[in-house]
Amino acid sequence: MVINKINLLKMLNYYQQQAVTIKHNSVLILAGAGSGKTKVLVHRAAWLTSKYKTDSIVMVTFTNKAANELKSKVNKLVGRQYHFPWIGTFHSLAYKILRINYSVADLPNNFQIIDNNDQIRLIKQIISTNNKYLNIIPNQAMYYINKKKDYGNRPNVLNNSIMEYLYKKYQQLCNRNGLVDFSELLLRSYELLNNNSMILSQYRKQFTNILIDEFQDTSYMQYLWIRKLITSKNNIMVVGDDDQSIYSWRGAQSNNMQIFLHDYPHTNIIKLEENYRSTNNILQAANTLIQHNNIRLKKTLWTKNNNCRDEPIVIYYALDQFDEIKFIIKQIKLVRNAGISLDKCAILYRNNTQSRILEDILIQNNIPYNIYGNVNFFNRREIKNVLAYLRLIHNHDDDISYIRIINVPNRRIGKKTINKIIELANTKNISFWRASNLIIKNNILSTRYNNIINNFLNLIRELYSDVFNKPIYLQLNTIVMNTGLLKMYNHEDKIKNLNNVDNIKELINAAYQFELNYNENKLFLLQSFLTYTNFSIKNNNTSINLMTIHASKGLEFLYVFIIGMEEDNFPSKLSMSINKLEEERRLAYVGITRAINKLFMTYANTKFIYGKKIYCQPSRFIYEISNSILNIKRIYYHDSSN
Ligand code: ATP
Ligand code: MG
């Protein structure tokens, strides 16, 4: 590809240029927030395209939102017509490798990804089959299984542990149904590479350049995965900031930079020290805060941004949570009136649960928002139901989808009948679909239920022949019309004042858009769409962003509001009790450094927890910052109508 190398370098400082053009085959870029680490990776990917094919460049980051941004930034530099199939998250790349090599990985060609909710459903199903699992809490079992997988461990029942038995059963069920959870994606693709030297050497040859963003938060399994692909012939560049290591609770190896340097001792280290993102006040706040941590690699961060009109950091001491959000709403309205698009702003919080009051008040004030995290668009109940039909008609053996919709809309199928199907499936080790067929064939149920189940099976078969080979959006249209879902949700919307139908229309829209932009092998279109619904967030670009600080990593916003700056919330109580205060402080550092122009931090004096009013202390992080920064504006609660 011909690219304008001079233009590509013009936008970078000397050290960034060195990093982009370096010939060394192992490089670690260690630098603070906003110093252009991600920018270097983007420019490096573009730079490499003059010599390497786009499908030889692997670039990995942490979240889907960040991955989308990487892709679009590289495309902005080299032109929209180029396709970079290997830019993504670890999970999406692992998925891709499995999809290409599904049969060697011992998966059916239509294998599907399941999320945590589906995992819990499967686990509950197993627990209900045998009294020996009675005392197991599904959530705990899920964490147990995922953790095992994250450390590369398959079930081991030799030690007679009940959890291991459950893990084994769970995996058998997943295998039988062609289901793959998120941890399995990494483990299975790692095993695929590890056990098949031909496939491994093919990828090692293909992936000439591997670029990893947010390296400080890679997990044990992710690192094994990367290491598997590295040889002396390909180039690896990892970038990270130890001060932003915030995922140790989810298995990130906090010392992975040291491990990397140990494994690749000839690594060239590049440091970037100039911050381009934030104002001087924001940077000072971040620097003073993080200096309270003891365990750090030495780094400095400065900015030329020495504007005397630099906005002060605002700390608002609210009377209670409602007053806190009201203050924020007022600020948001000011920002909007100044002509700034709300998608350039973010409200960040320590815990997902903090978004509830926030959402209520944003809705009351007609302020549109996108929320990233637990309840993303594709996780909504109505969307999952429609998608479950789509999955089931293309893969009758998908038990999770089967169980989800067997009685949606209501077909008057009770628990008893469903249990009969599950029991038969378990004894014969077959899918629910096959068990239902057997039940009908052998007239196990009363005529009435026999007919109901038979009608359901016929509906699915008919849907398949109706939608076969049609564009996905038309398939979805047929599904919602012919299953009675549309009618059901229309009715529900009317009586409960909900937006189910609008959301379904939005799903059909998303499918249409997806197909329009799809430029890979058509054979995988449906699979890719279903994967997209697992990996993606749908957003609207005029809405304010709501997310946990964890989810904000790598992103930047003109205006940032960090709410709930109270002791026991941030830092969280748990973090103090398990000695994780330094990680909590790093999290605050991440939150603060997301801000470009202005940072607000709010604290509520009282809060309701489980219906009880409690008094809170301001977060120690507020004091740690403000002790040495002059440019802070403190606003105390004065009038809630204000
Ligand atoms: P984080 O640690 O938060 O992920 P980062 O080090 O990856 O931050 P980037 O997101 O790459 O930082 O860059 C921060 C901001 O600074 C971006 O808006 C980027 O475009 C800008 N930037 C980086 N380098 C330069 C430069 N040399 N000239 C102008 N702007 C720059
Ligand atoms: Mg970055």
To test the ligand 1 pocket, which listed residue (38, 279, 302, 596) has its Cβ within 8 A of the most ligand atoms? 38
- Predicted local distance difference test score (pLDDT) of residue 516: 85
DSSP 9: H
Report how far ligand 2's centroid is from the alpha carbon of 580 (Å).
Answer: 23
Q: Which atom of ligand 1 is nearest to the CA of 276?
A: 16
Classify domain 112-177 by CATH architecture.
Orthogonal Bundle (1.10)
Predicted confidence (pLDDT) at residue 336 exceeds the cutoff of 60: yes
Between 116-129 and 162-177, two packed helices, what is the crossing angle to 10 degrees?
A: 120
Look at ligand 1, atom 27, and give the residue with the nearest C-alpha: 12
Average pLDDT for residues 473-490, to the nearest whole number?
A: 95
Predicted confidence (pLDDT) at residue 380 exceeds the cutoff of 60: yes
Question: Which ligand is closest to the CA of 304, given by its number?
Answer: 1
Any idea where the domains of the chain sit in the sequence? 5-96+187-272, 112-177, 280-376+537-639, 379-533
Instruction: For the domain made up of 379-533, give the CATH fold.
Output: PCRA; domain 4 (1.10.486)
Under the banding of pLDDT at 50, 70 and 90, the label for residue 641 is: very low
Report how far ligand 1's centroid is from the alpha carbon of 238 (Å).
Answer: 16
**Phi, psi (5° rounding) for residue 544?**
-75, 150
Predicted confidence (pLDDT) at residue 445 exceeds the cutoff of 60: yes
Three-state secondary-structure class, residue 241:
coil
Report how far ligand 2's centroid is from the alpha carbon of 277 (Å).
Answer: 11
- Predicted local distance difference test score (pLDDT) of residue 8: 87
346/353 Cα distance (integer angstroms): 16
For 625-638, the pLDDT digits (tens) are 977 676 778 888 85
Residues 6+ apart with CB under 8 A from 156: 164
400/491 Cα distance (integer angstroms): 26
DSSP 324: H
**Phi, psi (5° rounding) for residue 91?**
-65, -40
**Spatial contact of 408 and 570, defined as CB atoms under 8 Å apart:** no
Predicted confidence (pLDDT) at residue 463 exceeds the cutoff of 90: yes
Predicted confidence (pLDDT) at residue 136 exceeds the cutoff of 90: yes
Q: Do domains 5-96+187-272 and 280-376+537-639 have the same CATH topology?
A: yes
DSSP 153: P
Average pLDDT for residues 109-130, to the nearest whole number?
A: 85
To test the ligand 1 pocket, which listed residue (276, 560, 590) has its Cβ within 8 A of the most ligand atoms? 276
Which of 106-120, 334-348, 353-367 is the most confident on average? 334-348
Predicted confidence (pLDDT) at residue 114 exceeds the cutoff of 60: yes
- Predicted local distance difference test score (pLDDT) of residue 307: 61
**Spatial contact of 129 and 115, defined as CB atoms under 8 Å apart:** no
DSSP 572: B
Q: Which atom of ligand 1 is nearest to the CA of 16?
A: 27
Predicted confidence (pLDDT) at residue 495 exceeds the cutoff of 80: no
DSSP 379: G
Pick from 628, 544, 210: nearest CA to 359? 544
Report how far ligand 1's centroid is from the alpha carbon of 492 (Å).
Answer: 47
Residue-averaged pLDDT of the chain: 89
242/245 Cα distance (integer angstroms): 5
- Predicted local distance difference test score (pLDDT) of residue 360: 80
211/40 Cα distance (integer angstroms): 10
Q: Which atom of ligand 1 is nearest to the CA of 593?
A: 3
Look at ligand 1, atom 20, and give the residue with the nearest C-alpha: 39
**Spatial contact of 589 and 290, defined as CB atoms under 8 Å apart:** yes
130/165 Cα distance (integer angstroms): 11
Look at ligand 1, atom 21, and give the residue with the nearest C-alpha: 276
Report how far ligand 2's centroid is from the alpha carbon of 35 (Å).
Answer: 8
Question: Which ligand is closest to the CA of 301, given by its number?
Answer: 1
Predicted confidence (pLDDT) at residue 547 exceeds the cutoff of 70: yes
% the chain with pLDDT above 90: 64
Look at ligand 1, atom 9, and give the residue with the nearest C-alpha: 36
Q: What is the pTM of this model?
A: 0.82
Residue tagged 């069920």 (tokens): 173
CATH classification (class only), 280-376+537-639:
alpha beta
DSSP 154: P
Report how far ligand 1's centroid is from the alpha carbon of 275 (Å).
Answer: 7
Question: Which ligand is closest to the CA of 275, given by its number?
Answer: 1
Task: Please compute Rg for the chain using Cα positions.
Answer: 26
- Predicted local distance difference test score (pLDDT) of residue 541: 67
Pick from 337, 331, 353: nearest CA to 560? 331
Residues 6+ apart with CB under 8 A from 224: 152, 190
Of residues 468 and 576, which shows the higher confidence score? 468
Average pLDDT for residues 128-150, to the nearest whole number?
A: 92
Taken in order 183, 184, 188, 194, the sign of the CA dihedral is positive
Using alpha carbons, list the distances in angstroms from residue 574 to 281, 352, 518.
Answer: 30, 15, 44
Read out DSSP for 42-88? Answer: HHHHHHHTTTS-GGGEEEEESSHHHHHHHHHHHHHHH-TT---TTEE
Report how far ligand 1's centroid is from the alpha carbon of 400 (Å).
Answer: 43
Average pLDDT for residues 545-556, to the nearest whole number?
A: 92
- Predicted local distance difference test score (pLDDT) of residue 179: 87
Read out DSSP for 180-205? Answer: EEHHHHHHHHHHHHHH-HHHHHHHHH
**Spatial contact of 200 and 152, defined as CB atoms under 8 Å apart:** no
For 93-109, the pLDDT digits (tens) are 999 999 999 999 999 88
Average pLDDT for residues 192-200, to the nearest whole number?
A: 97
Task: Give the angle subtended at the CA of 637 by the CAs of 636 and 638, to the nearest 5°.
Answer: 110
Average pLDDT for residues 34-50, to the nearest whole number?
A: 96
Phi-psi region of 487 (alpha: psi -120 to 50; beta: other; left: phi over 0): alpha
Of residues 307 and 332, which shows the higher confidence score? 332
Average pLDDT for residues 135-147, to the nearest whole number?
A: 94
Report the run of H or E that residue 359 belongs to, with start and end: helix 355-364
Query: Which tokens hold the place of 507?
Result: 């799903």
Predicted confidence (pLDDT) at residue 454 exceeds the cutoff of 50: yes
CA 455, chain centre distance (Å): 38
For 394-432, the pLDDT digits (tens) are 999 999 899 999 999 999 998 899 999 999 998 998 999
**Spatial contact of 575 and 86, defined as CB atoms under 8 Å apart:** no
Look at ligand 1, atom 19, and give the residue with the nearest C-alpha: 36
Three-state secondary-structure class, residue 319:
strand
| Catalytic positions, written as ranges | 37-38, 213-214, 244, 594
Residues 91/93/97/102 CA torsion (nearest 10 deg): 40
Of residues 63 and 32, which shows the higher confidence score? 32
Pick from 635, 553, 624: nearest CA to 247? 553
Report how far ligand 1's centroid is from the alpha carbon of 477 (Å).
Answer: 43
% the chain with pLDDT above 70: 95
- Predicted local distance difference test score (pLDDT) of residue 147: 94
Task: Give the angle subtended at the CA of 383 by the CAs of 378 and 385, to the nearest 5°.
Answer: 125
CA 507, chain centre distance (Å): 19
To test the ligand 1 pocket, which listed residue (12, 60, 277, 301) has its Cβ within 8 A of the most ligand atoms? 277
Predicted confidence (pLDDT) at residue 325 exceeds the cutoff of 90: yes
Q: Which atom of ligand 1 is nearest to the CA of 33?
A: 2
Report the run of H or E that residue 514 belongs to, with start and end: helix 500-517
Q: Tell me: domain 5-96+187-272, CATH 3.40.50.300, correct?
A: yes
Question: Which ligand is closest to the CA of 593, given by its number?
Answer: 1
Task: Give me the count of residues in the chain.
Answer: 642
Q: Which atom of ligand 1 is nearest to the CA of 42?
A: 11
Report the run of H or E that residue 93 belongs to, with start and end: helix 90-100
Q: Which atom of ligand 1 is nearest to the CA of 32?
A: 2
DSSP 373: S
Look at ligand 1, atom 8, and give the residue with the nearest C-alpha: 34
In a 13 Å sphere around the CA of 189, the CA atoms on its Cβ side amount to: 27
Predicted confidence (pLDDT) at residue 23 exceeds the cutoff of 60: yes
For 496-541, the pLDDT digits (tens) are 666 788 889 888 988 988 888 887 778 788 988 988 887 655 556 6
355/370 Cα distance (integer angstroms): 11
Pick from 219, 186, 227, 209: nearest CA to 86? 209
Residues with CB under 6 A from ligand 1: 11-13, 16, 31, 33-39, 241, 244, 276-277, 554, 556, 593
Under the banding of pLDDT at 50, 70 and 90, the label for residue 642 is: very low
